[in-house]
Amino acid sequence: MRSIKIGTRNSPLALWQAREVARNLQNNNYKTDITPIVSTGDKNLTEPLYAMGITGVFTKDLDIALLNNEVDIAVHSLKDIPTQLPHNIEIVAVLKRDFPQDVLVRKSTSKNKELHELKIATSSLRRRAFWAKYFPETEFCDIRGNVQTRLQKLEDQDFDATLFSLAAIERMNLAVDYEFLPMMISAPAQGVVAVTARADDHEIKELFEKVNHRETQICIDIERNFLRTLEGGCTAPIGAFAEINDKDEVRFVGRLCSLDGKKCMEIDEIFTWNDQENFGEKLAHIILKDGGRELMQEIKLHLQ
């Protein structure tokens, strides 16, 4: 029987994700071999992501390994995968989404501060903009590295708090106090583990049909189509989250913000899903017609 060679970044969280995919494969009686690969995003921990040409910064090296037949599949956090994939690479499966939320983690000395008083460390344009929408006087600073590195920087450096994906904390079983932030709409596809493969590897694609989680697939397709339609190849503060129930009824919330959080367009819709309509694209066009197109132009000019 073929052993499936799994490519992954070498951070603790990425390795957890790779092992989770391996477990799903082993449950279907496949052998696995995990191959860690250092990504460009992990090599450069000084520049903020938005200054590095963020699209694909964590996926490029794994894409190359995949196209060179060094691995059979690559495992990613889906929010890191660009909406435009390289030629002959496609997403063949997603695991069930677990923790999509963003959370706030403070250092012990800032426990008594109000939210608007906190100095926040984050390199995410979305998190900065969404936070600034509610707390416009906030001072921000950049922070890079894996979860454990950022937690150490939180204790060692001169800021009060940082923002994490809850999935990262829960998957690593970290004993960390955190606060839920209902105003922070998740990044599209946040909290989802994805598997990419070569589009012409039909054996792998057929195998992963058994692994793919249908409800998560429907939701992330809506979120990523919303993102793709809005961004047009430009990184921007965009949030999107879809939930589906057993009657195929979807609730979708989406947001586009200016970089400083002062201008925001939001959408909150409930609809019945079918596989004929591109709901993400349709919802994004509502935002674009409501001033989103002009806002995207402003964001592109600021980021040039």
State the CATH architecture for 1-97+192-212. 3-Layer(aba) Sandwich (3.40)
- 156 is a catalytic site residue: no
Instruction: Give the whole-angstrom CA distance, residue 164 versus residue 146.
Output: 10
Q: Which residues pair with 265 in a beta bridge?
A: 256
Instruction: Domain 214-304: give its CATH architecture.
Output: 2-Layer Sandwich (3.30)
| Contact between residue 12 and residue 42 where contact means Cβ atoms under 8 Å apart | no
Q: Which two tokens stand for residue 192?
A: 């989802």
Per-residue pLDDT, 47: 44
pLDDT computed for residue 257 by the predictor: 96
Could you tell me if 237 and 259 are in contact, meaning their C-beta atoms sit under 8 angstroms apart? yes
Question: How high is the mean pLDDT in each 10-residue block of the chain (304 residues)?
Answer: 88 94 92 85 43 57 92 94 91 96 95 96 95 97 89 94 95 92 94 97 94 97 96 84 96 97 97 97 97 95 85
d(CA 109, CA 143): 19
Distance CA 94, CA 212 (A): 5
Under a CB-based contact definition with an 8 Å cutoff, are residues 166 and 178 in contact? yes
What letter does residue 290 receive in the DSSP assignment? Answer: I
Give every CB contact of residue 204 below 8 A, 6+ residues apart in sequence: 4, 72, 73, 92, 197, 198
For residue 215, the model assigns a pLDDT of 97
Q: Identify the CATH number of the domain defined by range 102-180.
A: 3.40.190.10
Q: Which of 80, 160, 201, 221 is catalytic?
A: 80
Q: What gap in Å lies between CA 78 and CA 188, rounded to an integer?
A: 8
With CA atoms as reference, report the closest residue to 227 among 18, 97, 91, 84. Answer: 84
The full set of domain ranges for the chain reads: 1-97+192-212, 102-180, 214-304
* C-alpha distances in Å from residue 6, one per residue of 59, 94, 217, 279: 14, 15, 21, 32
On the question of a common fold for 102-180 and 214-304, the answer reads: no
